[in-house]
Chains A and B, each alone.
Chain A
């Protein structure tokens, strides 16, 4: 029991590998889509043998990565058979958030709520007022309430410290990146400063530092 617990104490490396595998699958799916789109643009028709070989290679690697995620998930499940109550609530909260976020994203994508030319994170184009209000309420009211509850009742002090350190590093990242970008854009070497890009950079930095301090 004891050795297994040492191994299970921090699942950080497993989570990191699962994330990387997931990222790899997304990249591979993008590559497959791009490959097929290029083929269609060239006139379509049956693929050549080399085309099938390339597709088979992409699909094989994607399946191998999916298998790796499943194996790692099984290992985590085995080590998670008995969790502290706080961690159980934490996991339920996380799963609920992923499901809600995924379902929301899927609905928005399926209902064509995003302009096809403006569906990236840094888009600055027009948005329908209804969608703008829905997203504003979600991000400005619902998420802050959930976040308050999360910090007050779910995370423990070690994770709270990880959040604090992540926030500190993100603050410095913002302080240094924003003016450098501004100077270089005024010097004509970079495009205009994009506030949303800076917002995502601070979130990304916080996430990386939080993960490192909580799990590694």
Chain B
């Protein structure tokens, strides 16, 4: 899943290790999320959302462009 994590991290001048410390995950986890290789769990996504004070959908993009198909 595409996301803005790298940009948000850069805006705060944080390293991957800094972000990992805030989220209590490893740098590998931060790296995997940033590069879209790993999608975080819902609890971790909420943690990220609270950390950057942004709604989840502004950080993560599931690239869904359709209407109400639920």
List residues of chain A with CB under 8 Å of any chain B CB.
1-2, 5-6, 8-12, 82-87, 90, 156-159, 161, 213-215
Contacts and interface: CB of A to CB of B under 8 A. Distances in A.
B29 A156 contact: yes
B28 to A, nearest CB: 5
A84 B20 contact: yes
Given A85-B21, A158-B26, A9 B40 contact: no
B26 A156 contact: yes
A86 B26 contact: yes
Nearest to B31: A9
Contacts of A157: 25, 29, 40-41, 44
- The bracket for how many chain B residues form the interface is 20 to 34
B54 interface: no
B32 interface: yes
A90 B26 CA distance: 9
Contacts of B44: 157
Nearest to B28: A10
Contacts of A10: 27-28, 31-32
B28 A8 contact: no
A150 to B, nearest CB: 14
Nearest to B24: A86
Given A2-B10, A2-B15, A5-B17, A87 B24 contact: no
Nearest to A215: B28
A156 B32 contact: no
B30 interface: yes
Contacts of A1: 13, 15
Given A2-B10, A85-B21, A87-B20, A159 B15 contact: no
Given A9-B27, A11-B28, 13 more contacts: A1-B13, A1-B15, A5-B15, A8-B17, A82-B17, A83-B20, A84-B17, A156-B24, A157-B29, A157-B40, A158-B33, A159-B28, A161-B38
